[in-house]
A and B are shown apart, each in its own frame.
Chain A
Amino acid sequence: MTTEPAFVAAIDQGTTSSRCIVFDRRGGIVSVAQREHRQIFPRPGWVEHDAEEIWANVVQVVEEALDLADLPRTRLAAVGITNQRETTLVWDRATGRPVHNAITWQDTRTDELVRELGGAVGQDRFRERCGLPLATYFSGPKLRWLLRTVPGLAERADRGEVLFGTMDSWLIWKLTGGLHITDVTNASRTMLMNLATLDWDDAILAEFGVPRAALPEIRPSSAVYGTATGVLDGVPVAAALGDQHAALFGQTAFSPGDIKSTYGTGSFLLLNTGESIVQSGHGLLTTVGYQIAGQRAVYALEGSIAVTGSLVQWFRDKLGLINSAAEIETLARTVADNGGCYIVPAFSGLFAPYWRSEARGVITGLTGYVDKGHLARAALEATAWQTREVMDAMRADTALDVGALRVDGGMTANNLLMQLLADTLDVPVTRPTVAETTCLGAAYAAGLAVGYWPDLDALRANWHKAAEWAPAIDPATRARGHRKWRKAVERSFDWTDEDDLPQPA
């Protein structure tokens, strides 16, 4: 048996779980291991993760994936990391222990702080420099909250005793035994990086009160950062990308105009805009798509939808209408249409293109006729309509003619949803043979950095269509649905009031 490195591993540190996937040269999956971690809800609107638990899970899934594939780690050419973005951690440089639970991207505790940072200018105060509006979702405000709230932390940060990182940094630090690094895509989600220079922006750092000493070095997404110790001893750690950027890479959306959408807990559309930094006039974010070592960064426009898969989980865990996520399709197929019912899942406000944090979820159009099948269908349609609005915004910002939407993520197993998407968007929807494009992108970027794959064309040649859904409804039906959806969205606006009592999560 040969012992030459013949595979690449990807670690996907996601919102609900961590997984490790081993890929072969064709981009085929050799093995997968996955482990869920706890969601910690200390207060309404607060969502934390235990970073030590996550690291333990990562070690375990890496071991499991290698065991399942019956591989020693010497057969791995490289490992790449992809991660839930914006989730913010500060740890002690000397002991390597987190000083606080990681504050996740969904966490809204920085609501007040974000308003304060906006001052007289408002949420677009830093937008031109970092591409992002002020929102609770990004790392910078979370880091500021930690520095302000955890006693003594600000002083320790000034002295370089504690380190900030998103989950990529945490894993690189743990894997390499102490390298403090992040990649351009993760850094582009902090609000602290300047999009043009790809370096921390001193003016923003000053406003946020964040000392450079606590920040990781920003590196390209595809580059050899160092060599792993421990569970992956000797394997080059050669890529890091935020999950959505990894999916763009895994979908081989390397050309300007290529567009992908990932359907998971939340959903994310990314449009490759090449080397140009496009400022959105329609509520989209400007972000770094990826950067390959020695090359210029590729930028992207992003539209994020907060609640898609999590609405399915809500049906399962809170309403108990289904036993597993997949059963929502079975339930939705018990009816032919939504029965007039629309669900706007603005659980913590609306993201792109609205950015209305005061909105809250509504179920509208209820009549005695509506049953749980209609509700299930409305839940899936909510994902489709939200996608439509983001794509409309992208079209408006770039005059882009969208040929087809490349989809991936856990929800693409849902064939009804895929058909609803094609119907709603009026473009074909294609799913590639590897639905796990997030992991694949991290593997591709890592393999590219060590020469396991020669170039982007070799990766493009690996992309194949696994399934395609064509639009199948008439324009009048689509237009009627769109109108009703917009009315439903309007009903979700202006819900929260100053004197609202905090609601249990």
Chain B
Amino acid sequence: MTESSTTMSNNVHARVSAVPGRIQSVERAAAILRLLASGARQLGVVELANALQLPKGTVHGILQTLQHVGFVEQSRSGGKYRLGAALLHLGNSYLDVNELRTRALNWADSLASRSRESVRIGSLHEGQVLVVHHVFRPDDSLQVLEVGALLPAHASALGKVLLAFDLQGESLLDELALKRFTARTLTTRRALTDDLERVRKLGWGAEVEEMIDGEAAVAAPIHDDRGIAVGAIGVSGAIERVCDENGKPRLDLVSTVRDAARSISRNLGARKW
């Protein structure tokens, strides 16, 4: 151990042990975060354990938990740790949903015109999808504005995309009740996790008769200038229009949805409206 890290560890250690009646592991987690925030360098388990004079196993366990909630990230090479994106943006204001609608208006309209389906934009709200914008299917049939409605996250395309790209990562799933709506609803953690993995890999998500029989939906993430998924945009409609003869979402529709999502993301990257 070097001089400076001894000093550092003493300070941190002093703080950790000097406060009685608190939850020790939370304080240790905080100490780890402070160390990770203290320099430009990424730190490994051994360095952290030495600095805090804690067993490696303990530090490792805390790091795993912090990683689970998105507060730390492990670098791809070498396995060292750094602060996670979720932590960096905690405290920064989230994109106002009305702002999101204002910025997305044109693209949502255009998506509805091109896909001939209804369009919704959603953002996560306490484990559910809050519909922040809704464009009617452009066929002049009677439809009711659903802005403000809540959709189940695990059974909607919007929800799956939001879950897959959320900064909180997997921990978000802990709070979800995987309620069944149809025979095809994903009701196990395992099935949902697999699907979310697929969504992350493909960059879009779908739901085929998982919320309502005979209906399907496709959605893609909307990212802001920091790369954070601030919402999702998608189309939904009758399965025979949304899916091909194999019952899979039509790829042309998928690319129209993704184009719209990208355009909105680009618009959010601009400094002013």
Residues on A lying within 8 angstroms of B by beta carbon are 26-30, 32, 36, 324-327, 329-330, 410, 412-415, 433-436, 464-469
| Residues of chain B contacted by A330 (CB below 8 angstroms) | 96-98
Establish whether residues B135 and A466, one from each chain, have CB atoms under 8 Å apart when the complex forms.
Answer: yes
Q: In the complex, which of the residues B102, B112, B114, B272 contacts A466, with contact meaning CB atoms closer than 8 Å?
A: B112
Establish whether residues A433 and B138, one from each chain, have CB atoms under 8 Å apart when the complex forms.
Answer: yes
Q: Closest CB of chain B to A96's CB: distance in Å?
A: 30
Q: Tell me if B139 is interfacial: C-beta within 8 Å of chain A.
A: yes
- Using A466-B135, A466-B136 as known contacts, list a sample of 11 further A-B pairs with CB atoms less than 8 Å apart, ordered by residue number in A: A29-B106, A32-B106, A36-B272, A325-B273, A326-B101, A330-B96, A413-B102, A464-B112, A465-B136, A466-B138, A467-B135
Task: Tally A-B pairs: CB < 8 A.
Answer: 83
| Residues of chain A contacted by B112 (CB below 8 angstroms) | 433, 464, 466
Looking at chain A's contact residues, the main secondary structure is mixed
Closest to A433 in B: B109
Q: In the complex, which of the residues B106, B114, B143 contacts A436, with contact meaning CB atoms closer than 8 Å?
A: B106
Establish whether residues B107 and A327, one from each chain, have CB atoms under 8 Å apart when the complex forms.
Answer: no
Most buried by A among B99, B107, B109, B139: B109
Q: Closest CB of chain A to B154's CB: distance in Å?
A: 27
**Bound complex: CA of A201 vs CA of B139, how far in Å?**
46
Most buried by B among A325, A413, A469: A413
**Bound complex: CA of A353 vs CA of B136, how far in Å?**
34
**Bound complex: CA of A414 vs CA of B96, how far in Å?**
13
Establish whether residues A468 and B145, one from each chain, have CB atoms under 8 Å apart when the complex forms.
Answer: yes
**Bound complex: CA of A434 vs CA of B112, how far in Å?**
10
Q: In the complex, which of the residues B105, B113, B140 contacts A27, with contact meaning CB atoms closer than 8 Å?
A: B113
Q: Tell me if B147 is interfacial: C-beta within 8 Å of chain A.
A: yes
| Residues of chain B contacted by A467 (CB below 8 angstroms) | 134-136, 145
**Bound complex: CA of A394 vs CA of B109, how far in Å?**
30
Encoded as 1 (CB less than 8 Å from any A CB) or 0, chain B from 140 to 169 comes to 100101010000000000000000000000
| Residues of chain A contacted by B138 (CB below 8 angstroms) | 433, 464-466
| Residues of chain B contacted by A414 (CB below 8 angstroms) | 98, 102
| Residues of chain A contacted by B110 (CB below 8 angstroms) | 28-30, 434
Q: Could you tell me how many residues of chain B have their Cβ less than 8 Å away from some Cβ of chain A?
A: 26
Establish whether residues A415 and B113, one from each chain, have CB atoms under 8 Å apart when the complex forms.
Answer: no
Residues on B lying within 8 angstroms of A by beta carbon are 96-99, 101-103, 105-107, 109-110, 112-114, 134-136, 138-140, 143, 145, 147, 272-273
**Bound complex: CA of A53 vs CA of B136, how far in Å?**
39
Q: Closest CB of chain B to A4's CB: distance in Å?
A: 19
**Bound complex: CA of A32 vs CA of B99, how far in Å?**
18
Q: Closest CB of chain A to B184's CB: distance in Å?
A: 30
Most buried by B among A410, A414, A464: A464
**Bound complex: CA of A351 vs CA of B63, how far in Å?**
64
Establish whether residues B140 and A469, one from each chain, have CB atoms under 8 Å apart when the complex forms.
Answer: no
| Residues of chain B contacted by A436 (CB below 8 angstroms) | 106
**Bound complex: CA of A410 vs CA of B97, how far in Å?**
16
**Bound complex: CA of A466 vs CA of B135, how far in Å?**
5
| Residues of chain B contacted by A464 (CB below 8 angstroms) | 112-113, 136, 138-140
Establish whether residues B113 and A329, one from each chain, have CB atoms under 8 Å apart when the complex forms.
Answer: no
| Residues of chain B contacted by A465 (CB below 8 angstroms) | 136, 138, 140, 143
Q: In the complex, which of the residues B101, B102, B113 contacts A433, with contact meaning CB atoms closer than 8 Å?
A: B113
| Residues of chain A contacted by B113 (CB below 8 angstroms) | 26-28, 433-434, 464
Closest to B137 in A: A464
**Bound complex: CA of A479 vs CA of B181, how far in Å?**
45
